A and B are shown apart, each in its own frame.
Chain A
């Protein structure tokens, strides 16, 4: 009996004496606060596909992935919400003297998937479907996703103040079905037409390659803000947040991306994007 007690005590000490942090939680960002109020109904609800693509300036296959996703954009328009993230190591690192477009939020999301090679892409944060060397297949799967009936309709708009430095974002959610689990909304800033070196499939380097949909900042915490409303069919809620536009971002090239996720699994239910007004 005494031995058992001692063993239990030792096990308790072992268990309590060491915290384990998951890789996707190494970095925390409290982020901008979202204020929730009554939302409005959304006409013509759409199911969008949220795609996170991991890329890198020293990845010679990544320009081909860009071509594939550009084609997807042509096919599906704003039903495809795309965020490009420079991989946190290896081919994701910048050429010497070049701007480093890796972000802390991107690194945290990178760890969430456990990305090992790039290019890699994921639809709606479904880890089971990685599009790497078989990137062209993503076009078909995006089509399948956007053809579905949405359970939540989603809109986002963003307005900069007169100085252009402060941006207010409104996210409107219209619950078409009841979802009985905790939900979060994540808002991120992406930028088009960032020009820096890119390794090409033929081994050459293009000095002013246009990098589009690049993640610049996760405005909410990396895993978003809780939706403070019951996700009951027929209800609407609207969230508002304000953030300062980073000085090195060109307002005209910026977009806001917002997506609604299941808090536990982080799977994305729906998403939306908009330009800055």
Chain B
């Protein structure tokens, strides 16, 4: 990889010499992020000592653009990776991503590392998330062609990034999206807006010997080329909107599905209605055997080619998000309803300033399957009109109300049902039924200064288990946050499993922001749990000590 970087830098230097005038006239932007952690052993919470004393995740992106030309590179360093990040990240440091691109009105070409998504990502989504430790960028060529307004055709080919290397497998894809209002004259003035799209992605992976059964003489006849196609529709009419996408994947025996030959499919529907002061959406999802990876035998969250969107609410409060839901790419059914309503001010319920209501409910279940056998078979049949056991359920009511010119209260009640089998590794058996109440009060002390108080309670029918699941049991949490002007903030918080647990998870933090630069230092204890972003999760181990974060943009 280093040799490739040298070639790229030489290329950029040559370009600079050849077009010095252009380079000088271009724009350089970028960002830097440094996350650090120091942790020491604490037997009460299960935190282990960090032999390196200091762990660092760092990165710097630099982008250059000049007219239609652009280029960029990213330096990454994990010395060593923060707790919870895959240890494979520590295999190196250096220029991890780089690209050159040229774009005109009709054509865009990117060579090098690129991120791309077809539709909602059900057949292709290359993305990166530094908090999850995921970067599955493709290294290759990405071409976008817009022959006329309203039509976009994408074609790409590349190899997927895996930590500091690229997998041997090839990923190829084409996608086309057509806005019918742009190309059909009768629709140009119509209030009905329709966009349709279709994509196809194919993976080629070399053969490998996968034993079919206990008898090692039998092996699987693996498909080397695995294809996935998706069709999508996006309609809007007045206040209404409808998005639908259906994806189907060919035979793809993998470690994720226990090497069965069943084809995969997924369907998402999203119906929305929105007007001033009121909006709602209803979503449903069906996912069956849709783990699509560039490496068939790679477990975990790495090497995914696709992404299955989450349709449950992404909570931000600590106890509400204690049990985040990890999307089950091997199979799930889901429903979500979300309503946002603003009660007008100067009404009985709205009061002087009005009241915001946010209702959300979601339920996600496993598929109802009828087994046809294990590895080397079709795997199972499903019953489309029935569900398996519950994976996750969430009902939340949030009320946000300005009490006075200086006081604002956000109160939330949620009832959640959580099945630990959705996590890898599964923590405990049996459903957790949790009631959660959150009160969040913000007091503007005076201009530029505010105090925020947060009180949270979680009551659960699960029992605290410091070995298997230190989240279980009953919890209380308090937080005080002081925002001082536009630059500083101080906060102190504590989480405590008051009924049958042990250990206070206290945390104090200070932050400073100046222009596009932000520095935050925190000290305290981190409870073991899961961090999920959009249904993609990583484990967060217990820690005890200092963390700091520095980010800046230029």
What residues make up the interface of A, taking CB atoms closer than 8 Å to B?
A: 10, 13-14, 16-21, 23, 25-31, 88-89, 104, 107, 111
28 interchain pairs (CB within 8 A)?
A13-B172, A13-B174, A13-B200, A14-B200, A17-B200, A17-B225, A18-B202, A18-B226, A18-B250, A19-B223, A19-B225, A19-B250, A20-B250, A20-B251, A23-B261, A25-B221, A26-B221, A26-B376, A26-B377, A27-B218, A28-B218, A28-B220, A31-B217, A88-B372, A89-B372, A89-B373, A107-B376, A111-B377
Which of A13, A21, A27 has the largest number of chain B CB atoms within 10 A?
Answer: A27
Contacts of B218 in A (CB 8 A): 27-29, 104
Contacts of B226 in A (CB 8 A): 18-19
Q: Which 5 A-B pairs have the closest CB atoms?
A: A17-B202, A18-B227, A19-B223, A18-B250, A17-B227
Task: Name the residue of chain A whose CB is nearest to the CB of B250.
Answer: A18
Contact A27 B376 (CB under 8 A): yes
Q: Quick one: which of B225, B261, B371 contacts A26, CB cutoff 8 A?
A: B261
Contacts of B221 in A (CB 8 A): 21, 25-28
State whether the Cβ of B212 lies closer than 8 Å to any Cβ in chain A: yes
Q: A21-B251, A26-B261 are in contact. Are A104 and B227 (CB under 8 A)?
A: no
State whether the Cβ of B219 lies closer than 8 Å to any Cβ in chain A: yes
Kindly state the separation between the CA atoms of A14 and B377 in the bound complex, as whole angstroms: 24
Contacts of B201 in A (CB 8 A): 17
Which of B202, B371, B373 has the largest number of chain A CB atoms within 10 A?
Answer: B373
Contacts of A20 in B (CB 8 A): 223, 250-251
Q: Quick one: which of B200, B217, B222, B373 contacts A29, CB cutoff 8 A?
A: B217
Contact A27 B225 (CB under 8 A): no
Query: Size range of the interface on B?
Result: 20 to 34
Kindly state the separation between the CA atoms of A151 and B229 in the bound complex, as whole angstroms: 49
Which of B200, B220, B227, B229 has the largest number of chain A CB atoms within 10 A?
Answer: B227
Q: How far is the CB of B33 from chain A (nearest CB, A)?
A: 37
Contact A88 B373 (CB under 8 A): yes
Task: Name the residue of chain A whose CB is nearest to the CB of B221.
Answer: A28
State whether the Cβ of B378 lies closer than 8 Å to any Cβ in chain A: yes
State whether the Cβ of B21 lies closer than 8 Å to any Cβ in chain A: no
Task: Name the residue of chain A whose CB is nearest to the CB of B229.
Answer: A14
Contact A27 B212 (CB under 8 A): yes
Kindly state the separation between the CA atoms of A88 and B373 in the bound complex, as whole angstroms: 7
Task: Name the residue of chain B whose CB is nearest to the CB of A15.
Answer: B227
State whether the Cβ of B215 lies closer than 8 Å to any Cβ in chain A: yes
Contacts of A30 in B (CB 8 A): 217
Kindly state the separation between the CA atoms of A31 and B219 in the bound complex, as whole angstroms: 11
Contacts of A89 in B (CB 8 A): 371-373
Q: How far is the CB of A187 from chain B (nearest CB, A)?
A: 14
Contacts of A21 in B (CB 8 A): 221-223, 251, 261
State whether the Cβ of B224 lies closer than 8 Å to any Cβ in chain A: yes
State whether the Cβ of B213 lies closer than 8 Å to any Cβ in chain A: yes
Contact B219 A27 (CB under 8 A): yes
Contacts of B224 in A (CB 8 A): 19
Task: Name the residue of chain B whose CB is nearest to the CB of A25.
Answer: B221
Kindly state the separation between the CA atoms of A27 and B212 in the bound complex, as whole angstroms: 7
Kindly state the separation between the CA atoms of A71 and B218 in the bound complex, as whole angstroms: 35
Task: Name the residue of chain B whose CB is nearest to the CB of A243.
Answer: B217
Contact A104 B202 (CB under 8 A): no
Q: How far is the CB of B470 from chain A (nearest CB, A)?
A: 36
Kindly state the separation between the CA atoms of A160 and B371 in the bound complex, as whole angstroms: 39
Kindly state the separation between the CA atoms of A29 and B221 in the bound complex, as whole angstroms: 9
Contacts of B200 in A (CB 8 A): 10, 13-14, 17
B417-434 residues at the A interface, CB under 8 angstroms: none
Contacts of A104 in B (CB 8 A): 212-213, 215, 218, 376
Contact B220 A26 (CB under 8 A): yes
Q: How far is the CB of B253 from chain A (nearest CB, A)?
A: 8
B172-231 residues at the A interface, CB under 8 angstroms: 172, 174, 200-202, 212-213, 215, 217-227, 229
Kindly state the separation between the CA atoms of A259 and B250 in the bound complex, as whole angstroms: 35
Contacts of B215 in A (CB 8 A): 104
Kindly state the separation between the CA atoms of A23 and B220 in the bound complex, as whole angstroms: 11
Contacts of B213 in A (CB 8 A): 27, 104
Contacts of A25 in B (CB 8 A): 221
Contact B227 A14 (CB under 8 A): yes
Contacts of B225 in A (CB 8 A): 16-19
Kindly state the separation between the CA atoms of A17 and B174 in the bound complex, as whole angstroms: 11
Contacts of A13 in B (CB 8 A): 172, 174, 200, 202
Kindly state the separation between the CA atoms of A31 and B215 in the bound complex, as whole angstroms: 12
Q: How far is the CB of B74 from chain A (nearest CB, A)?
A: 30
Which of A10, A16, A19, A30 has the largest number of chain B CB atoms within 10 A?
Answer: A19
Kindly state the separation between the CA atoms of A18 and B292 in the bound complex, as whole angstroms: 13
Kindly state the separation between the CA atoms of A238 and B221 in the bound complex, as whole angstroms: 30
Q: Besides the contacts A20-B251, A27-B219, A89-B373, what 19 more A-B pairs have beta carbons closer than 8 Å?
A: A10-B174, A10-B200, A13-B202, A14-B227, A16-B202, A17-B227, A18-B250, A19-B224, A20-B223, A21-B221, A23-B261, A26-B220, A27-B218, A27-B221, A30-B217, A31-B217, A88-B372, A89-B371, A107-B377
Contacts of B202 in A (CB 8 A): 13, 16-18
Q: How far is the CB of A167 from chain B (nearest CB, A)?
A: 15
Task: Name the residue of chain B whose CB is nearest to the CB of A92.
Answer: B373
Q: How far is the CB of B231 from chain A (nearest CB, A)?
A: 13
Contacts of A107 in B (CB 8 A): 373, 376-377
Contacts of A10 in B (CB 8 A): 174, 200
B214-268 residues at the A interface, CB under 8 angstroms: 215, 217-227, 229, 250-251, 261
Contact B372 A27 (CB under 8 A): no
In the complex, per-residue mask of B360-373: 1 if CB is within 8 Å of any chain A CB, else 0:
00000000000111
Q: How far is the CB of B323 from chain A (nearest CB, A)?
A: 34
Q: Quick one: which of B219, B223, B229 contacts A28, CB cutoff 8 A?
A: B219
Task: Name the residue of chain B whose CB is nearest to the CB of A3.
Answer: B147
Contacts of A14 in B (CB 8 A): 200, 227, 229
Q: How far is the CB of A115 from chain B (nearest CB, A)?
A: 12
Contacts of A23 in B (CB 8 A): 261, 378
Kindly state the separation between the CA atoms of A199 and B222 in the bound complex, as whole angstroms: 37
Kindly state the separation between the CA atoms of A107 and B217 in the bound complex, as whole angstroms: 15
Q: How far is the CB of B221 from chain A (nearest CB, A)?
A: 5
Contacts of B373 in A (CB 8 A): 88-89, 107
Task: Name the residue of chain B whose CB is nearest to the CB of A18.
Answer: B227
Kindly state the separation between the CA atoms of A28 and B251 in the bound complex, as whole angstroms: 16
Contacts of A31 in B (CB 8 A): 217
Contacts of A29 in B (CB 8 A): 217-219
Contacts of B251 in A (CB 8 A): 19-21
Kindly state the separation between the CA atoms of A21 and B219 in the bound complex, as whole angstroms: 14
Contacts of B212 in A (CB 8 A): 26-27, 104
Q: How far is the CB of B110 from chain A (nearest CB, A)?
A: 20
Task: Name the residue of chain A whose CB is nearest to the CB of B260.
Answer: A26
Q: Quick one: which of B172, B219, B371 contacts A17, CB cutoff 8 A?
A: B172
Q: How far is the CB of A47 from chain B (nearest CB, A)?
A: 32
Contact B377 A88 (CB under 8 A): yes
Q: How far is the CB of B550 from chain A (nearest CB, A)?
A: 44
Q: How far is the CB of B339 from chain A (nearest CB, A)?
A: 41
